[in-house]
Amino acid sequence: MSTPESEISNRVPKLLRVSAALSWRFVVVVAALYVVAYVFGYLASIVIPVAIALLLAALLSPGVSKLVEWRVPRGVAVTVMMIIGLGVLGGVLTFVISEFSRGLPELQTQVAASLDTIQTWLKDGPAHLSDAQLQNYVNEIVKTIKENQAEITSGALTTAATLGEVLTGLLLALFTLIFFLHDGDGIWRFVTRAVPRDVRQRVDVAGRRGFGSLVSYVRATAVVAIVDAVGVGIGLAIIGVPLVVPLSALVFLGAFIPIIGAVFTGAVAVLIALVTNGPIAALVVLAVLIGVMQLESHVLQPILLGRAVKLHPLAVVLAIAGGLVTGGIAGALLAVPLLAVLNSGIRSLVSDADADQNPQKVDVLNPQDTAPKDDTSERVKEL
Mean pLDDT is highest, among 141-145, 149-153, 202-206, 351-355, for: 202-206
pLDDT band at 160 (very low <50, low <70, confident <90, very high): very low
Mean pLDDT of 341-349: 83
- Domain limits for position 234: 206-372
Is residue 143 in a domain? no
| Predicted local confidence at residue 31, as pLDDT | 92
CA 334 to chain centre: 5
Residue 165 has pLDDT above 60, yes or no: yes
Residue 382 has pLDDT above 50, yes or no: no
Residues 6+ positions from 127 with CB-CB distance below 8 Å = 121
Q: Give per-residue burial for 131-161: e unless 16+ CB within 10 Å, then b.
A: eeeeeeeeeeeeeeeeeeeeeeeeeeeeeee
Average pLDDT, the chain: 75
Cα distance between residue 335 and residue 29, in whole Å: 19
Are 344 and 310 in contact by the 8 Å Cβ rule? The answer is: yes
Cα distance between residue 336 and residue 58, in whole Å: 14
Cα distance between residue 49 and residue 56, in whole Å: 10
Query: What Å distances lie between residue 127 and 113, 115, 119, 124, CA to CA?
Result: 20, 16, 11, 7
Is residue 60 in a domain? no
Lowest mean pLDDT among 44-53, 112-121, 216-225, 261-270: 112-121
Residue 339 has pLDDT above 70, yes or no: yes
Tens of pLDDT along 47-85?
888 888 888 888 888 888 888 888 888 888 888 988 888
| Predicted local confidence at residue 27, as pLDDT | 92
The count of structural domains within the chain is: 1
Is residue 105 in a domain? no
- Alpha-carbon torsion, ordered 364, 368, 370, 371, to 10 deg: 100
Mean pLDDT of 162-167: 70
Residue 156 has pLDDT above 50, yes or no: no
Is residue 197 in a domain? no
Cα distance between residue 69 and residue 193, in whole Å: 28
| Predicted local confidence at residue 139, as pLDDT | 67
Exposed/middle/buried for 322, CB within 10 Å: 0-12, 13-18, 19+?
A: middle
Is residue 359 in a domain? yes
Rounded to the nearest 5°, which phi and psi values hold at 195? -90, 140
Cα distance between residue 207 and residue 71, in whole Å: 26
User: Could you tell me the pTM of the whole model?
Assistant: 0.69
Cα distance between residue 100 and residue 349, in whole Å: 51
Least Cα distance to 56 among 191, 221, 190, 225 occurs for 221
Q: In degrees, to the nearest 5, what angle opens at C-alpha 99 toward C-alphas 97 and 103?
A: 120
Are 233 and 244 in contact by the 8 Å Cβ rule? The answer is: yes
The amino acid at residue 363 is D
Cα distance between residue 116 and residue 120, in whole Å: 6
Q: Give per-residue burial for 207-225: e unless 16+ CB within 10 Å, then b.
A: bbbbbbbbbbbbbbbeebb
Mean pLDDT of 91-120: 68
Is residue 257 in a domain? yes
| Predicted local confidence at residue 235, as pLDDT | 86
Is residue 48 in a domain? no
Least Cα distance to 305 among 204, 188, 227 occurs for 227
Of the chain, the percentage scoring pLDDT greater than 70 comes to 68
Exposed/middle/buried for 250, CB within 10 Å: 0-12, 13-18, 19+?
A: buried
Least Cα distance to 328 among 247, 264, 382, 273 occurs for 264
Mean pLDDT of 183-206: 85
Is residue 49 in a domain? no
